[in-house]
């Protein structure tokens, strides 16, 4: 039981090594079905038992991944969180409700999860102690974390009828306990109150009653009408379809707001049950910012566009202030935003002040205005009403707070240029605004990194700061690959200094800032202590503590989960398209490769859009990453003797409004350059090259087969192939079908199915909820290929979404891919 687990968690830890994770109960996690139970043909054509790939590949898929690590905010502890390699298909296939654009697990009254965690290891950062936390058999953890003061650890687990919340003190034995077995996590997991004495939770209302029963016959038709409104909708899925759906949505989403004490005492209910999608306590702990949906609900929009009220509640449930009463967001322009307050939140460092953003252009990106947005603040106790803080020239994307409450960093995005800007503002007017970042979002070489955030004493996120310096961590893209860094930037001058950068020969990135308490780094001349995550092609990721004085120490014990892959070689290669656009990719060669060996090749890619050649050619990969195969990864083909050209860049360069006019020509040119480069290196057979991709990469794959003869076969997973079914734009396309019909036609491989002469393997999850890639897309392309005499295979995976999770499904995908390429790329 997890109660035992968290009691152990809060006991004084010993220095012993952690034993292995507990076994999984086969009764709860059925083994994959790999053979038919009965002899004879299947009942329906195309059905039968799940397949398995070659043993070497299956072993990779079934290997448990390295744990993720959560550091306590104090920097004293680390918590390793383990998960299985893949859940069983039985877990993925449990009952799910698809309502209002979200998916609900009715058994746990939670957002539907297709994965979970099941193991915890607690250790001191100084290495003095380490112990496994016994979590009991079959525990499924949905959420786990630290309180902002590092006093408590909480875990949310799947339960019967609701989720369960467990809390324990990190350093006191015998204190862990189940504090609530009625948590509703459809929209939000519990959050800590500022004083750390309890958690703000959404609970299943007492006496809720049974789930609404579907009527034997509809009460009437579902009627929709339009009368001149312009409502350009993306192809959202899982929408409400009738009144019964709406009743189910309310049944599972309406919740009771409450404060649940961490010590297990009696809870305090706040207000009455409502359909609350977000609840955030004020920094002083006296109020709650609540967002709740109001009737009537829409059959054409997802829940986040429903009518809603944004309110401030006192802890006795009284509505103190209505921030916004927003109608259904039905007329948002393509690329636009909702009018009225948005991004409403509490201002860090001020106990009762709200901040929010509002559009000054009616939410319309095509309207010509000097400023698109403004930020507003409201002190709930001053009584002076809202006051404007600042305006942004372009669309506001966020507001970062500093410990000095008179200063903020505002970020904005220019849609026309694909440009980002971040500016330091003095809210008193004492200093002029200072631009800290101003670049193309695609300029990875010029990226100064993200601001490093830390929690203040109330749990609010603020920018990490040391005197005038703020800290940034970045991917560190360079022509030689990624070299991540930690830097600092002067808020007075904007000058930047790199404090640490990954050395060539490894991939090491910033992970966590270790600060003494909540005051930062102390004196200005004291450097930061921080943790990085370091890996090489042959060494698994390990967490490394960097001391202020310059020392380094490994603080984790990750073991290589897939030693079979250490024989793989890889290299970051660069080359050039015929029109001069620089390209790059990572070339993997299978274990046992020797000089002179020639292999069948898979080119795996995903197109991305760029405004100019300079940014399109920038390298964004690293040859020093630890090689792993997770789930349905195409890199498993290495164990079957294939070479893989991974993340082969396929830039679409041009004006953001018209770049897709040459989509086909550009991907064909990029593919030609990729093949020519690898073949010239003498490691690939030009007559045995396949192409593959997932989602937009699948769309690219089908287009390459339809418009070129470069490949012998293709593998397309979870793609969209008929753009007339996504008529209000796709990916970065801004024009509608009616504005650019010739473009939609040109890039729709479904409409060119008669030109696809190469064998194409189509794989799709039957429960794909991704906008635009609904399962019908693969079914219709297969039917078109079949009707035109093409060679294709369609594999529809029951219960799977846009990505594939169930162990049986993942093994099937690997088996199908290897078998397909072996058949069509054979000698």
Catalytic residues: 695, 768, 802
d(CA 826, CA 113): 40
Q: What distance in Å separates the CA atoms of residue 269 and residue 258, rounded to the nearest whole number? A: 4
Rounded Cα gap, residues 628 and 61, in angstroms: 10
Alpha carbon distances (Å) from 627 to 54, 508, 554, 803: 19, 14, 20, 20
* DSSP class of 636: G
Nearest to 345 by CA among 518, 481, 462: 462
The closest alpha carbon to 639, from 690, 559, 568, belongs to: 568
The residues, any chain, with a CB within 8 Å of residue 354's CB and separated by 6 or more, are: 289, 312, 323, 344, 345, 346, 347, 377, 378, 380
Q: Where are the beta strands (DSSP E) in 64-151?
A: 68-71, 77-82, 97-99, 102-105, 110-111, 119-124, 130-133, 141-146
Residue 533 DSSP SS3: strand
In the block, which residue shows the tokens 């997802």?
Answer: 302
Contact 94/806 with Cβ under 8 angstroms? no
* DSSP, res 526: S
Residues 6+ positions from 690 with CB-CB distance below 8 Å: 600, 601, 602, 603, 711, 712, 713, 714, 715, 821, 824, 825
Alpha-carbon distance of 400 to 348, in angstroms, equals 9
SS3 state at 598: coil
Going by their DSSP bridges, the two strands 141-146 and 130-133 should be labelled as unpaired
DSSP code of residue 154: E
SS3 annotation, 673-734: HHHHHHHHCCCEEEEEEEEEEECHHHHHHHHHHHHCCCCCEEEEECCCCCHHHCCCCCCCCC
- Residues 6 or more apart whose CB falls under 8 angstroms from that of 659 comprise 609, 652, 653, 732
Half-sphere exposure at residue 1, Cβ-oriented, CA atoms within 13 angstroms: 9
- What whole-number distance in Å separates Cα of residue 361 and Cα of residue 447? 29
Neighbouring C-beta atoms of residue 231, cutoff 10 Å: 14
- Please choose, from the candidates 455, 470, 461, the residue with its C-alpha nearest in 3D space to the C-alpha of residue 518: 455
Q: What's the order of all strands across the beta sheet hosting 102-105?
A: 97-99, 102-105, 110-111
Tell whether the torsion through CA atoms of 780, 784, 786 and 790 is positive or negative.
negative
CA dist., res. 782 & res. 764, Å (int): 11
């Amino acid at each position: 039981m997890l109660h035992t687990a968290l009691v152990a968690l809060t006991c004084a830890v010993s220095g012993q090594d952690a034993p292995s994770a507990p076994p999984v109960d086969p009764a709860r996690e059925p083994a994959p079905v790999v053979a038919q139970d009965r002899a004879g043909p299947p009942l329906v054509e195309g059905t039968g038992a799940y397949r398995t790939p070659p043993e070497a590949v299956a072993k990779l898929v079934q290997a448990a991944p390295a744990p993720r690590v959560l550091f306590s905010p104090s920097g004293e502890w680390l918590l390793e969180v383990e998960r299985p390699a893949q859940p069983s298909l039985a877990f993925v296939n449990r009952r799910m409700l698809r309502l209002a654009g979200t998916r609900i697990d009715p058994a746990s009254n939670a957002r539907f999860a297709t994965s979970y965690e099941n193991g915890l290891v607690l250790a001191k950062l100084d290495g003095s102690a380490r112990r496994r936390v016994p979590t009991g058999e079959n525990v499924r953890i949905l959420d786990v974390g630290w309180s902002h003061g590092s006093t408590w650890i909480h875990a949310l687990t799947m339960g019967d009828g609701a989720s369960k919340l467990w809390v324990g003190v990190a350093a006191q034995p015998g204190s862990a306990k189940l504090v609530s077995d009625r948590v509703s996590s459809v929209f939000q997991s519990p959050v800590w109150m500022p004083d750390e004495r309890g958690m703000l939770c959404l609970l299943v209302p007492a006496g809720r009653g049974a789930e609404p029963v579907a009527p034997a016959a509809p009460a009437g038709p579902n009627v929709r009408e339009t009368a001149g409104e312009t409502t350009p909708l993306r192809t959202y899925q899982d929408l409400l379809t009738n009144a019964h759906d709406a009743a189910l949505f309310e049944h599972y989403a309406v919740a009771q707001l409450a404060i649940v004490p961490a010590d297990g005492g009696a809870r305090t209910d706040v207000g009455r049950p409502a359909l609350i999608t977000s609840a955030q306590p004020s920094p002083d702990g006296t109020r709650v910012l609540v967002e709740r949906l109001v009737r009537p609900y829409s059959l054409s929009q997802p829940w986040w566009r429903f009518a809603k009220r944004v309110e401030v509640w006192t802890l006795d449930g009284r509505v103190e202030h209505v921030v916004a009463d927003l109608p259904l967001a039905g007329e948002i322009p393509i690329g636009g935003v909702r009018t009225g307050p948005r991004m409403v939140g509490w201002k860090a460092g001020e106990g009762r002040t709200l901040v929010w953003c509002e559009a000054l252009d009616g939410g319309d990106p095509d309207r010509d205005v000097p400023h698109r947005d403004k930020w507003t603040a409201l002190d709930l106790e001053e009584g002076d009403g809202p006051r404007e803080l600042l305006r942004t020239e372009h669309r506001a994307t966020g507001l970062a707070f500093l410990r000095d409450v008179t200063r903020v960093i505002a970020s904005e995005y220019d849609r026309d240029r694909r440009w980002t800007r971040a500016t330091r503002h003095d809210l008193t007017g004492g200093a002029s605004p200072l631009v800290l970042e101003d670049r193309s979002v695609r300029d990875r070489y010029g990226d100064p990194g993200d601001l490093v955030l830390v929690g203040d004493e109330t749990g609010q996120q603020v920018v990490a700061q040391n005197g005038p310096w703020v800290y940034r961590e970045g991917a560190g893209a360079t022509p030689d690959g990624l070299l991540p860094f930690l830097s600092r930037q002067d808020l007075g001058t904007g000058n930047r200094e790199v404090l640490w950068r990954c050395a060539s020969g490894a991939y090491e990135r910033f992970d966590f800032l270790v600060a003494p308490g909540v005051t930062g780094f102390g004196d200005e001349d004291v450097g930061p202590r921080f943790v990085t995550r370091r890996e090489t092609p042959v060494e698994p990721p390990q967490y490394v503590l960097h001391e202020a004085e310059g020392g380094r120490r490994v603080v984790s014990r990750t073991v290589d989960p897939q030693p079979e892959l250490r024989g793989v070689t890889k290299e970051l290669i660069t080359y050039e398209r015929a029109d001069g656009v620089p390209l790059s990719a990572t070339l993997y060669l299978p274990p046992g490769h020797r000089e002179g060996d020639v292999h069948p090749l898979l080119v795996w890619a995903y197109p991305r859009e760029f405004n100019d050649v300079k940014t399109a050619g920038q390298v964004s990969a690293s040859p020093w990453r630890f090689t792993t195969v997770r789930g349905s990864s195409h890199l498993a083909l290495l164990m079957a003797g294939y070479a893989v050209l991974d993340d082969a860049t396929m830039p679409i360069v041009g004006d953001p409004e018209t770049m897709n006019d040459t989509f086909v020509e550009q991907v064909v040119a990029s593919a030609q350059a990729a093949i020519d480069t690898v073949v010239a290196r003498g490691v690939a057979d030009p007559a045995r090259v396949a192409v593959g991709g997932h989602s937009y990469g699948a769309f690219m794959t089908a287009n390459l087969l339809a418009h070129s003869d470069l490949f012998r076969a293709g593998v397309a997973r979870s793609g969209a192939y008929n753009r007339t079914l996504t008529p209000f734009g796709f990916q970065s396309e801004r024009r509608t079908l009616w504005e650019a019909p010739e473009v939609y036609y040109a890039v729709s491989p479904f409409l060119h199915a008669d030109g696809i002469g190469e064998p194409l393997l189509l794989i799709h999850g039957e429960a794909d909820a991704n906008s635009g890639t609904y399962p019908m897309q693969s079914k219709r392309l297969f039917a078109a290929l079949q009707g035109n005499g093409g060679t294709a295979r369609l594999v529809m995976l029951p219960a799977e979404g846009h990505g594939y999770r169930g162990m049986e499904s993942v093994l099937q995908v690997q088996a199908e891919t290897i078998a397909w390429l072996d058949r069509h790329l054979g000698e």
